[in-house]
Amino acid sequence: MAKPKRKRQQAKPVVGRRRSCLRTIGQTLLIMVALAGAALFLFTQHRMKGPYREYEIDKAFVSAPVASTAEPLMVGVAKRDITPDLADYDAWQDNDGNTRFEIDKGDTWEDRNGNGDFDLVWIAGFSSNRPALGVNDPLWSRAIAFRHQKSTIVLVTIDCIGLTHERIIRMRKALLTKAPEIDHVVFSATHTHDGPDTMGIWSYRPLMSKFDEVYLDLVLDRTEEAVVEAVANLQPSAASCMTADLAPEGFVHDSRMPEVFDRNLCIARFNKLDSDQTIATLVSWGNHPEGFGSRNSLISSDFAHYWREGVEAAAGGMCLYFQGPVGGLMTPLHLEVPVAGTEQKIREDGVEKVKNLGQNLATRTVELLASPELKPMADHRIAAVAKTIFVSIDGPYKYPVMFGLIHPGWYGGKAKSEVSALRIGDLEILTCPGEIYPEIVDGGIESPEGADFPGDPVEIPPLRPEMGGRVKMVFNLANDELGYLIPRTQWDEKRPYTYGDENGPYGEENSGGPNIAAEVHRASIGVIGELAELME
């Protein structure tokens, strides 16, 4: 029987095949876009949630119910070098001498690790294209531990631009196992504008930032090591402290009206018990470490290096500098710095200006260490009140924080941070999670014509007069960096600008918004009051 003939299929027209192919490509692209969108959404949700959403702090303790002179205050110090090794990074040549990495202008680089990308150390604080060419002086994490009876507090000062809150939480969690005897630890940044980016804001790339997580890990790990060693080095001490008035001339310039300075040079000295041998000198005062200027390409802790070096050479022990009220804006830029023993003054930014500023601060500090005003501490107790706070974020910081680009963790329009008030004997310390304007701390808030939010000042009363203790320090960039904390009545983004400024003031672009200062102020008043009750 003959097989039936198969019906020959006609070939699809070329146009039909092309349409089918284009349809397939289109569907594939839509799927890829949808997957990319889903991945971006999940990543954004993860960053908005933040890495330590469950973490909150709410502690209040005092080492003894009444002043105790029988048991001495125990003190220990340690430090770790956190200077990046430039040999671990690519090298570059600044062929046009403008301190910017610009290949199109003839700058060259050596790809040492062969990854085809330029891996440089990006200096933080001014522009996002300022790679390091050398090291002027080392960067440090310095820790000082205090113990009275069974309570232990550690204060840490780090030569960096700042650390956001999630980095602080990470170190605290690690220290729970490494040094569980610690009751509270405070981490503060000196805010040097001559160190590597530790926040992810100044790491330059043509299209997107390449933040150096490896260096940040080094900073956090070595800081933890310093804390653990400081606790291990605890020994009985004799403590003394004082506050001196530091007139701004030759020391600090206020680049934004109204001119209100931090004039409080706060000093605490800790000697070995029954000895003149210094364990540590703790100093605090507010000024931006940016005297090298915006064209600097050398890593440095700025004036803090020469200040600490001078005090240590004269008094021995370790000197620790904690940044004071630095907003407003306290700076050595535009400042004429005297050269000791001469009629000369240095206005040009650079190493000579920075060196003389630091040395002049050291000279003043050493004089005060010999002053009869440096009186022994009568109260050896230590105490702390620390609270998690949630602060409103608006303005330029809103979306970077919301999407976790910096300071990951979004709480319905708010960011998580903290404030604390501490007592170390006769010394009281308020920690501030940003750069607070001195007028909020010491008074002098104005409501100038042209401000965006006229009316009566909100951040009152001033914080320092509310504090207890004989010496009152206000640490800035402590346990977080929320930018400038600007009085609401001085907030000025819209014309007409205040004080006749034609271009508008600087500060708002680096702030969490017009309400954040009032919220931090209110929380600070709360912890100051609770600490006062503990010390009664």
The tokens describing 295, both together, are: 């064209």
Task: Return the residue matching tokens 């370790």.
Answer: 318
Element (H, E) at 226: helix 213-232
Give this prediction's pTM.
0.93
Cα separation, 32 vs 423, in Å, equals 58
Residue 4 lies in a domain: no
| pLDDT score at 67 | 78
Structure letter (DSSP) for residue 356: H
The tokens describing 491, both together, are: 């907030």
DSSP assignment string, 30-81: HHHHHHHHHHHHHHHHHHHH-TTTT---EEEEES-SS--SSSPEEEEEEEEE
| pLDDT score at 25 | 77
| pLDDT score at 28 | 79
Q: Which phi-psi region, left, alpha or beta, contains residue 499 (left: φ > 0; alpha: ψ -120 to 50)?
A: left
C-alpha distances in Å from residue 7, one per residue of 10, 12, 63, 145, 428: 9, 15, 98, 93, 97
Cα separation, 319 vs 280, in Å, equals 6
155 touches 144 (CB < 8 A) = yes
Residue 514 lies in a domain: yes
- Number of domains, the chain: 1
The tokens describing 240, both together, are: 């003394």
| pLDDT score at 23 | 76
Residue 119 lies in a domain: no
Residue 121 lies in a domain: no
Range of the structural domain that residue 254 is part of: 54-84+140-536
Residue 128 lies in a domain: no
| pLDDT score at 418 | 98
Cα separation, 173 vs 176, in Å, equals 5
* pLDDT of the chain, 536 residues: tens digit per residue: 455 555 455 555 555 666 677 777 777 788 887 777 766 666 666 678 899 999 999 999 999 998 777 899 999 999 999 999 999 999 999 999 999 999 989 999 999 999 999 999 999 999 999 999 999 999 999 999 999 999 999 999 999 999 999 999 999 999 999 999 999 999 999 999 999 999 999 999 776 778 999 999 999 999 999 999 999 999 999 999 999 999 999 999 999 999 999 999 999 999 999 999 999 999 999 999 999 999 999 999 999 999 999 999 999 999 999 999 999 999 999 999 999 999 999 999 999 999 999 999 999 999 999 999 999 999 999 999 999 999 999 988 898 899 888 999 999 999 999 999 999 999 999 999 999 999 999 999 999 999 999 999 999 999 999 999 999 999 999 999 999 999 999 999 999 999 999 999 999 999 999 999 999 999 999 999 999 999 99
Residue 251 lies in a domain: yes
Residue 120 lies in a domain: no
124 touches 197 (CB < 8 A) = yes
Residue 130 lies in a domain: no
